[in-house]
Chains A and B, each alone.
Chain A
Amino acid sequence: MNGISTDIQHLKKGEVNLGTSIMAVTFKDGVILGADSRTSTGAYIANRVTDKLTRLQDHIWCCRSGSAADTQAVADIVQYHLNLYKMQFDQDADVKTAASLLKSLTYENKDQLSAGLIVAGFDKQNKKGEVYSIPLGGSLHKQPYAIAGSGSTFIYGYCNKNFKEDMSREETIDFMKHSLSQAIKWDGSSGGVIRMVVLTDNGLERLIFYPEDYENL
């Protein structure tokens, strides 16, 4: 059972795969999500400018890895539930609630799905960023930062050494740019541009970095 290669074996024939590098990092003012932009079918790049950062609510986003179809379906369902939650209870859902919904879906359908997800959001109650990792089997792990996807295996050491709690916005972006740059460099299934979403009390901000920006840091 070799973690990453089983992801690919699990895909149905002809299925599009996000053989990805994704990450989410909490910092002083909130949380930042980051991802590469490559989607491949086997060795062919089906989309080189994919957006793997998906909105669940304005203040809760997720990074998707695994089967594109599965993760899109699951994200859509959770988005629906969170919209319903907002209408029913007249308040925004917590990040924990979003993660819990996503977990239930992946856990209860683990045999049908190949979805590795990271949920990240800004917790309005505590004014803090939160990150939850939901790997293949459907377990749920709260973490200060999370990395996932095939490219992540190459940057476990780098991230572990360089992550610090409560970094500034610029420090965090720098850390993520370096991490994803290395992941893209060594993983054939990752590539393209680096996309980021910054979630703070002031709302969200999108960032994009082109190969010339991150290749020679």
Chain B
Amino acid sequence: MTSVGTGYDLSNSVFSPDGRNFQVEYASKAVENGSTTVGLKCKDGVVFGVEKIIANKLLVPGKNRKIQTIDRHIGCCYSGLIPDGKHLVNRGREEATNFRNTYGKPIPVSAMSERLSQYVQAYTLYNSVRPFGISTIFGGVLKTENGGDNKPELFMLDPNGSCWGYKGIATGKGRQTAKAELEKLITSETFDFSTLSAKQAVEEVARIIYLAHEDNKDKDFELELSWCSLSETNGFHKYVPEEVYNEAVENAKSAVGLADSDESGEEDMEVDAQ
């Protein structure tokens, strides 16, 4: 960052002479150190995974959930500044309510992506505000009977307000590894989205998060998994049930070569949450 200290990085709404908005770029820095977050589409839904670093031993295991629900059929997770994410989710909920009240049906995920990105983009325009310090992965599936098309959608929204649709995407600290793994998975010859079940996608996401955590091995973490699928959750966004969760975590551990006894604490999570 050669232009640091030239004064052009102090405010939104002022470009540097070479056409950059530094505040927004700094916001992306906040994301790069955030917890690894993964989203993956499957044949009838989407799956989310978050690596939650245990910052403090006093935190209650299994509580302090990070994945949130925007509308019944839209899940959301983000890395970066958590409170920024919570605020954005609240805005998303307002948009969902608004849409439902005017059009008499739930908001399609693509419409939600438009509205959220407009909102985030507005925070790059004025010097009285700072940009959102998060990259947000959200998605879901809207059933035909609710006015949708039964097709899963997945998006990632960046601090500058740009929002793209993905088959699978990752953000946060372990994004390099995770994205490489997703690419390897999706581009492999045997891979076919039309056959990838939600359960298989959960396995993949769990494995990828464990793999991405390898670079950050010294820190303990909890894995959070949620899904929104026609077959598994009837189109609702929900946390994955205990059995599916445990199985995915077991397989993920053996995939990255972690003996079962090495780790402790993770499995307790669901039990404690009851």
A residues within 8 Å of B by Cβ? 81, 85, 88-89, 93-94, 96-97, 99-101, 103-104, 125-126
Contacts and interface: CB of A to CB of B under 8 A. Distances in A.
Contacts of A88: 111, 114
Contacts, number: 32
B103 A97 contact: yes
Contact of B105 (A81, A96, A103, A104): A96
Contacts of A126: 144
Chain A CB within 10 Å — which of B101, B114, B144, B147 has the most? Answer: B147
B105 A97 contact: yes
Contacts of A104: 101-102
Nearest to A94: B147
Interface of B: 101-105, 108, 110-111, 114, 144, 147, 149
A100 B105 CA distance: 9
Contact of A96 (B104, B110, B111): B104
Nearest to A89: B111
Contacts of B105: 94, 96-97, 100
Given A94-B147, A125-B144, A100 B111 contact: no
Q: How would you classify the secondary structure of chain B's contact residues: helix, strand, loop or mixed?
A: helix
Given A89-B108, A89-B111, A100 B144 contact: no
Contacts of B103: 85, 93, 97, 100-101
B150 to A, nearest CB: 10
A93 B147 CA distance: 9
21 contacts: A85-B103, A88-B114, A89-B108, A93-B103, A94-B105, A96-B105, A96-B147, A97-B103, A97-B104, A97-B105, A97-B147, A100-B102, A100-B103, A100-B105, A101-B102, A101-B103, A101-B104, A103-B104, A104-B101, A125-B144, A125-B149
A126 B143 CA distance: 12
Q: How would you classify the secondary structure of chain A's contact residues: helix, strand, loop or mixed?
A: helix
Contacts of B144: 125-126
Nearest to A99: B104
Nearest to B147: A94
Contacts of B101: 104
A87 to B, nearest CB: 12
Nearest to B111: A89
Given A96-B147, A97-B104, A100-B102, 15 more contacts: A81-B102, A85-B103, A89-B108, A89-B110, A93-B103, A94-B105, A96-B104, A97-B147, A99-B104, A100-B104, A100-B105, A101-B104, A104-B101, A104-B102, A125-B149
A97 B149 CA distance: 15
Contacts of B111: 88-89
Contacts of A94: 105, 147
A10 to B, nearest CB: 26
B70 to A, nearest CB: 18
B238 to A, nearest CB: 25
Contacts of A89: 108, 110-111
A116 to B, nearest CB: 19
Contacts of A81: 102
A125 B142 CA distance: 13
Contacts of A93: 103
B105 to A, nearest CB: 6
A104 B110 CA distance: 24
A101 to B, nearest CB: 7
A117 to B, nearest CB: 15
A88 B144 CA distance: 19
Contacts of B149: 125
A100 B22 CA distance: 45
Contacts of A99: 104
Contacts of A97: 103-105, 147
A88 B114 CA distance: 10
Chain A CB within 10 Å — which of B104, B144, B149 has the most? Answer: B104
Chain B CB within 10 Å — which of A81, A101, A125 has the most? Answer: A125
A157 to B, nearest CB: 32
A5 to B, nearest CB: 31
A125 B149 CA distance: 8
Contacts of B108: 89
